[in-house]
Amino acid sequence: MEKLKIRAYNTLRWSEKYTKTDMLYLAKGGFWLSLNQAISTIASLILLISFANFISAETYGNYRYILSVIGILVIGTFPGINTIAIKAVAEAKESIFWHLVYKKSYLTLISSLLCFIASTYYYLNDNQTLALSFIIAGIGIPFSYTFGMYESLILGRKDFKTMYKINSLSKIITTISTISTIYLTDNILALVTAYFVPQIIIQGIFLIYFYLNKVPQTIDGEYGKKLTNFGYHLSFMEILKTIAGQIDKLLIFHYLGAGQLALYAIATAPPGQIKTILQNLTTLATPKMSTSKADDIKNTLLNKLFRLEIIMVFCVVAYWVITPFIFPIFFPKYTEAILISQVYALSLLFFPRTFLSTAMTAHLKQKELYFIRIFAPSARIIIFFIALPLWGIWGAVIGSIASNLATTLIYQYYFKKAFA
């Protein structure tokens, strides 16, 4: 009996220590990530207001459509490489990171090829604007997505202060560039160029800086190969997810036109920004979970997510209250988006369960991740193909909520299997 008491006491002490460590990590990293996100949110809001008030809905809808298609075509950049790069740096294997940058530099050419194919398609269909837009994207993507790898290096080092400084500078410069373009012209080609050029210049400068100051290390060949292969697998897993993430915009553009896509983009932007802010937590979680024991994650993660879900309920209610006051001030031409935005915000309730996928990625649960990346996006795509033609823009809103619920159930099931 006495031994049981001692064991229980030691377990309690360990739990307290573990919780304090988590809280210190979240406080330190979360402070800088929150500052970074504050700059990003303000910049995104200014951009959104500029788009909503200074260019037509038709032009903005076409611009959003181009970015949505690009959002799918960049799957050829193998985004899973970035996730694995964070893990490699977090494990003090930065030589593997630079090897992954080299890999990334030529893998991104696949996205360029896809952009040029899209350009040819629109050229043959007499849409010169879209054809030229995808040529610009095909040129810009390899540079932007290779140079952007520096973020994985900083995140792996858990140097969130440096991340804040660099990203804030980058966001301010790119925002000024885009807003200046909006005020000067509503030409879509100019807007697409303004989207890529500042990013390429800034990201290139910082990647070269980190390369020139890198610490020489011996490459761990076998482990590096293992991580690289897993990065490929993660990227293949992302294909359906990437398509599913943009399917609502593509279908709205196809069935309802550019004007309705602009309305939908305005309505969903504020909840989207809230979700982006919350992504800070997953950014913090990736390196932390990579170095945590599987049993620790199994025993503590679900309780933490439940507390986060309670917070999300209050966030959604607060958003419902303030939305009718915000839209008439900042988006006077889109007041019909108020109710759409309020209902769409319900999808935020399911966000905390995305941490289950983060945990599985951090611990290389390849089999379960494959099932998740197949079933969850497939469910979303099917839901949208059914709901949107039937109910129009409301079908997109309902589809978002229903697909998030389906994804949550799938995450929950495979998390239990992975950490059984």
**Two tokens at 20?**
């304090």
**pLDDT tens, 125-134?**
999 999 999 9
pLDDT of residue 286: 62
Q: What is the per-residue pLDDT for 164?
A: 80
Look at residue 6 in the predicted model and tell me its pLDDT.
37
For residue 30, name the pLDDT band (cuts at 50, 70, 90): low
Q: How far apart are the first and last CA of the chain?
A: 29
Give me the mean pLDDT over the 366-372 stretch. Answer: 81
Question: How far apart, in whole angstroms, are the C-alpha atoms of residue 358 and residue 26?
Answer: 16
Q: How many CA atoms lie within 13 A of 353 on its CB side?
A: 19
Residue-level pLDDT at 16: 42
Owning domain of residue 253: 2-418
Whether pLDDT at 297 is above 90: no
- Mean pLDDT for all residues in the chain: 84
Average pLDDT over residues 258-270: 94
- Long-range CB pairs of 59-62 (<8 Å, 24+ gap) are 59/186, 59/188, 59/258, 60/258, 60/262, 60/265, 61/253, 61/257, 61/258, 61/259, 61/260, 61/261, 61/262, 61/265, 62/129, 62/130, 62/188, 62/258
Q: 177, 198 in Cβ contact below 8 A?
A: yes
Q: Which pLDDT band, with edges at 50, 70 and 90, does 7 fall under? A: very low
Based on the structure, what is the number of domains in the chain?
1
Confidence of residue 361 (pLDDT cuts 50, 70, 90): confident
pLDDT, mean of residues 202-212: 89
Neighbouring C-alpha atoms within 13 Å toward the C-beta of 150 = 25
**Joined tokens for residue 26:** 């979240």
**Looking at this protein, which amino acid is placed at residue 331?**
F
Task: Give the Cα separation of 277 and 45 in Å (integer).
Answer: 13
Query: Quick one: average pLDDT of 195-211?
Result: 90
pLDDT-wise least confident of 103-107, 178-182, 308-312, 359-363: 359-363
Rg of the chain taking only CA atoms, in angstroms: 22
> Do 140 and 197 form a contact (C-beta atoms < 8 A)?
yes
Residue 46 has pLDDT above 60, yes or no: yes
Distance of CA 73 to the CA centre of its chain: 15
* pLDDT tops 60 at residue 3: no
Q: What is the DSSP letter of 185?
A: -
Cβ pair 69, 246 in contact under 8 A: yes
Closest CA to 364 of 218, 232, 222, 219: 232
* Range scoring the smallest mean pLDDT among 25-34, 43-52, 146-155, 166-175: 25-34
The one-letter code for the residue type at 143 is F
Instruction: Return the closest-CA partner of residue 240 out of 387, 384, 133, 117.
Output: 384
Note the Cα 133 to chain centre separation in Å: 23
pLDDT at 303 exceeding the cut of 70: yes
Give 162-202 pLDDT, tens digit per residue. 888 888 888 889 999 999 999 888 899 999 999 999 989 99
pLDDT of residue 28: 53
Least confident of 25-34, 145-154, 223-232: 25-34
pLDDT at 288: 65
Tokens of 131: 């054809």
Average the pLDDT over 79-97 and give the result: 85
What is the predicted pLDDT for the residue at 141? 95
Residue 219 pLDDT level (bands cut at 50, 70, 90): low
The residues near 159 (Cβ < 8 Å, ≥ 6 apart) are none
Quote the pLDDT of residue 369.
82
Contact (CB, 8 A) for 252 and 394: no
The answer to whether residues 312 and 351 touch, using CB atoms and an 8 Å cutoff, is yes
DSSP secondary structure, 352-375, as one string: GGHHHHHHHHHTT-HHHHHHHHHH
pLDDT at res. 32: 67
| Percent with pLDDT over 90 in the chain | 45
pLDDT tens, residue by residue, 374-383: 898 999 999 9
Q: Tell me, what's the pLDDT at 287?
A: 63
Single-letter amino acid code for the residue at 398: I
